Structure 1
Amino acid sequence: MNRNLDIGLLRAFAAVAGTRSMTTAADRLGLTQGAVSQQVKRLEEMLDCVLFDRARRGLKLTARGDQMLGHAKRLLAMNDEILQEMTGPAIDGKVRLGIPFDLVSTYLPLVFEGFAEANPRIEVSLNCATSKALLASLRDGSVDVALVEEPLGESKGECLSVERLLWIGSKNGTAHRKRPLPLSIVSETCAFRDPIVEALEARAIPWRPVFEYGTLEATMTTVRSDLAVTAFLGSFIPGDMEVLRRDSGLPELPNFTINLYESNIETNPAARQVADYLRESMIGQNRRSA
């Protein structure tokens, strides 16, 4: 007797596998936690195997679950592609997306997960630069959509999120106590540089640059090595870094916003699709973290 896999069960399973959380997967799917749990259970019963190890803290895929995840992703991608082709006009085209260095590995995976599967005909290329450089690229038309970090209240773009700018350093490090303060920033055009310098000078805290020209990875290496401190948006601080509290002796930094800018939207439907996806994903992300 032939049996058919339920796409809804596969989507619930893939969401849980991607987030390692029934609650987060439920928020992403617009369902209750109980409904998602039941869907995963039904899939396990249908396949007669255990997909998640629930004995440990958090959820972890079993060997069979890991095997099933690859199959599920392929089936979901095919399902979504068929629906898009058969029920609406296919959107294709090339989109140049600008994004600051510090958001590439932290922000982008959170909000852009699933975009390629849902929009297989859209080719996205990344332009990684500082926020000031991205604004220039928007003006000259070399990027179509950009995420830009700007001080709260100074933007002409669409605000997607408000974030605290926080000092960070190596765990159990001492660099924040040194004077002059060793400071590591990717570039002189970094959006955070001027507010950081202004805050330090307002408190008469001397500082010296440890690293100002290079990649984000190199900057973070200086911080991990306790050679310097830097600042990051609160929601995107790497897990191996330590937030430096008020008693660290460093001044409070201003709030920043992540703003969405669009260019060539009217003549590029693919760019509009990317902008809409970023907007909706960030709204969902903010709702889950609220």
Structure 2
Amino acid sequence: MQAFDIEQLRTFVHVVDAGSVTAGAAQVFLSQSAASEQLRKLEDRAGQLLLVRSKSGVVPTPAGQLLLAHARRLLALSDEVWRDLHGTPLTGELRLGITDYFRPNELTQLLAKLSTQHPGVRLRVSMGKSRLVEAEHAAGQLDIAITMRVDGKKTARSHPLRTEPLRWMAAPGKLPARGAPLPLVTLNEGCTLRALAEKALVQRKLPFDVVHVASGVAGMQSALAAGLGFACLNESAACEGVDIVAARAARLPALGVASFQMLPGRRGEDRVLREVRDLLVDQLG
């Protein structure tokens, strides 16, 4: 029978999250040698190399990344079945920080679904710029953090959630007026996408004028729907009244992609935090 061992998968996930075999082994109460043996057997079962050593520690290969995503879902489901059979629901309070750009039209429904499925878990959610979310996570003020990058890099040991194209957006049918500065709708200074959009326009020598500064993505969407201007947003921000602008037809520069990631956990996390982290990866990715 071709099947993976659930405990080998659990060890694999913890080693990847911890960035080392020694630290990952401690989280599943194994010696380093026992964890290494489990990983060897897992690679034998997979028939591929799953982990390599780098300057930042142990990192998954492309095959390891693929297995990691499946392993998280399998572990979350396995733990959920165990709780249902043994009457041990998840309970506790967690502080969750999320970049304002992450799935703006769906996030509240996804979090509501999680709360319905696990009523004993109290989520304290805050939204903000990625750099602020990262700073609060580093300071220990957040238990789980989801951030965005547009430079193509990945924070060490973070878990990739999704990648989206960046698009110019505006009210349906709205196109830039030729010869006039592009009216720009943004968040305030320090916003990653604002800086990216302004840089792209400067490089193309296209004049622009910041006409509306919103406090969040919802405010940007409202301003765009009202026809106030154009904005750089990730693709999932398109909504009723806000359309993607064909950049080439509008003579606007290409914008690249945005990558969303969950920042790595810390050593010694309790069971509730680890399991909620896995659930969020499964439901939000």
Name the TM tier (shorter chain): 0.5 to 0.7
Report the AA paired with residue 273 of structure 2.
A
Partners of 1:165 and 1:254 within 8 A in 2: yes
Contact 1:92 1:122 in 2 (8 A): yes
- Separation of aligned partners in 2, 1:113 and 1:265: 28
Q: Is the 8 A contact 1:176 1:248 kept in 2?
A: no
In structure 1, the residue matched to 2:193 is: 192
Question: CA 1:173–1:148 in structure 2 vs 1: closer, same or farther (change >3 Å)?
Answer: same
- 1:74-110: CA deviations, max 9, x gaps? xxxxxxx998365264332111111122336424146
CA deviation digits over 1:53-82, x for unaligned, max 9? Answer: xxxxxxxxxxxxxxxxxxxxxxxxxxxx99
**Structure 1 segments (4+ residues) deviating >4 Å:** 175-178
**Separation in 1 of the partners of 2:151 and 2:163?**
7
Per-residue CA shift, 1:32-70, capped at 9, x if unaligned?
A: xxxxxxxxxxxxxxxxxxxxxxxxxxxxxxxxxxxxxxx
Partner residue in 2 for 1:215? 216
C-alpha separation in 1, matches of 2:139 and 2:208 = 35
CA distance in 2, matches of 1:123, 1:176: 49
Q: Which whole-Å CA distance do the structure 2 matches of 1:159 and 1:99 have between them?
A: 14
How far apart, CA to CA, are the structure 2 residues paired with 1:130 and 1:151? Answer: 13
Contact 2:136-2:142 within 8 A present in 1 as well: yes
2:83 aligned partner, one-letter code:
Q
Deviation, 1:155, is 2.2
Partner in structure 2 of residue 179 of structure 1: 180
Give the TM-score normalised by structure 2.
0.64
Determine the structure 2 residue equivalent to 1:122: 121
Number of the residue aligned with 1:233? 234
Is the 1:160–1:258 Cα contact (8 Å) retained in structure 2? yes
**Secondary structure in 1 aligned to 2:89?**
coil
AA of the residue aligned to 2:121: I
Q: Which runs of 5+ in 1 are unaligned?
A: 1-80, 284-290
Moved more, 82-91 or 243-252: 82-91
Against the structure 1 CA distance between its residues 117 and 197, is the aligned structure 2 distance closer, same or farther, given a 3 Å change threshold? Answer: same
Question: Is the 8 Å Cα contact of residues 265 and 272 (structure 1) preserved in structure 2?
Answer: no
Q: Distance in 2 between matches of 1:208 and 1:265?
A: 47
CA-to-partner distance for each residue in 1:213-270, whole Å, 9 max, x for gaps? 5233332222112121112211332132111112111100011111111444633433
CA–CA separation in structure 1 for the residues paired with 2:194 and 2:141: 25
* 1:177 CA displacement: 4.8
The letter of the residue matching 2:147 is V
User: In the TM superposition, what is the alpha-carbon distance from 1:175 to its structure 2 partner?
Assistant: 4.5
Secondary structure of residue in 2 paired with 1:106: coil
- Contact kept, 8 Å, 2:194 with 2:232, in 1: the verdict is no
Helix, strand or coil: the match of 1:192? Answer: helix
The CA distance in 1 between the partners of 2:166 and 2:177, in whole Å, is 16
* 1:258 equivalenced with 2:257 (yes/no): no
Whichever residue aligns with residue 219 of structure 2, its letter is: A
Q: 1:100, 1:147 within 8 Å by CA — same for their partners in 2?
A: yes
- CA pair 92-177 structure 1, distance change in 2 beyond 3 A: farther
Q: Which moved more, 1:186-195 or 1:253-262?
A: 186-195
Retained in 1: the 8 A contact 2:200–2:253?
yes
